[in-house]
Amino acid sequence: MSKNSAKHPVNTRALAAEAVHEVVRNGRSLTQVLPDFKKKCTQPQDAAFLQAMVYGTLRFYPTLAFLADKLLEKPLKDKDFILYDLILVGLYQLMYLRVPAHAALSATVEAARVLERPWATGLVNAVLRNFQRKKDLLQQTLPTNEEAYYAHPAWFIETIKTAWPTEWQTILTANNAAPPFSLRVNLQKITREKFLETLQAADILATALANTAAGVVLEVATEITNIPGFKEGLFSVQDGAAQYAAELLHLSPHLRVLDACAAPGGKTLHLLEKEPLLKEVVAIDISPARTKLIQENLARMALVATVITANAAEPDTWWDKTPFDRILLDAPCSATGVIRRHPDIKYCRHADDPAKLFVQQSLLLKALWPLLKPGGYLLYATCSIIPIENVHVLENFLNEHTNALVTPFALPDGIQQNIGIQILPGKNNLDGFYYACLQKKISEC
């Protein structure tokens, strides 16, 4: 690790290389990694630039790696892989960012010294300058390699080709685009129209999100604490596709609702906002740190729910035997529908993960079904676009549970599946999401 201290002023390129290294080489998520690195930045603009470099380098890592391999005369030693990631950070700046080339070069070269590899300054300088000279020619070679051209791992490209043979290229392109900054207005406190007027008065450009009751999209991403109404609980950050969950649960007053796998609590909040007369909302998550996030979000919005830290798949450890009228199962998944928001998913997931998740998702669904009242509804949701985690889970469940009925519904942005509806990434600028709604037969328990 670098020593960005009095000896070495903060070098954002060095920090970016370290953050990328932690994700790609050590398998850590950006959620785990990036906050600690941003804390090392003394200025907000430096933290924002660091985030842009890390996200961008990870978004286009296969492309940048393909180019770096052509530019390096010989592979770097394992102990110097941090330099490889630094070179990719440099290439990303030269290819995609509006950073003066001389500034990108000098700061990236200096980063090698900060990373305690002073011998490599010449190497980094030579590679990046060589790229500048050969940029056009090198970019013409990208179509010869699918991973480089589409900036996705080979296993993922093949998986998406199989699942979506006519949409796969559109999906991959959408995954590499910058995501919209979407909010959900708390309609219990303010109308969407009034909230948009409040944003306009603060010189924040925004529009209503089509096909949603409370969605808003900001033209430019903004620090949420600087958006009017944050402390007052007037809005939450949530993609439009995720906002459909509360709409699909057939909510009405005096119902008891379970939000399983609820963290960080966005859908929990939406349930309470959409139907303030619910009898109780129980929000459960297996992670203590993540249930703390649920509680913090509830406090900010001045809402009340029963928050439990436990494994939702083991009801005997937490359920009070009082059945639920509605259950939202936002199942753990590969998150392949939200890659544009989390480009680290490309490297933290592997080809065999969806099959493993199928087992976990099926166990959760089977474990929670007995908790649902006859006549009640269970909404199964994932932010995956891989069928084995979605339709296949439901097909397997229905084969074993004759007391479950599929409830049909329509979503303007979705593709009707054998069971449920799939929204693909980028469709009307939404994240990728899958929804299926089941009702328990009244005549059977």
Length of the chain in terms of residues written? 445
d(CA 243, CA 241): 5
Q: What would the two tokens of residue 158 be? A: 């093949």
Q: What would the two tokens of residue 204 be? A: 């924040």
Q: Answer yes or no: are the C-beta atoms of 351 and 402 closer than 8 Å.
A: no
Q: What would the two tokens of residue 190 be? A: 């303010």
From the CB of residue 21, how many other CB atoms can be counted at a distance below 10 Å?
A: 22
d(CA 263, CA 284): 8
d(CA 154, CA 145): 10
Whether 383 sits among the annotated catalytic residues: the reply is yes
Q: Answer yes or no: are the C-beta atoms of 247 and 223 closer than 8 Å.
A: no
Closest CA to 236 of 214, 256, 220: 214
Instruction: Report the Cα–Cα distance between both ends of the chain, in Å, rounded.
Output: 58
User: 370-391 b/e with 16+ CB inside 10 Å = b?
Assistant: ebbbeebbbbbbbbbbbbbbbb
d(CA 386, CA 343): 17
Q: CB-based contacts of 7: which residues, under 8 Å, 6+ apart?
A: none
Q: CB-based contacts of 27: which residues, under 8 Å, 6+ apart?
A: 347, 348
Residue that has been written with the tokens 């249930």 in this structure: 291
Please pick, among 333, 383, 437, 445, the residue that the annotation labels catalytic.
383
Residues labelled catalytic: 383
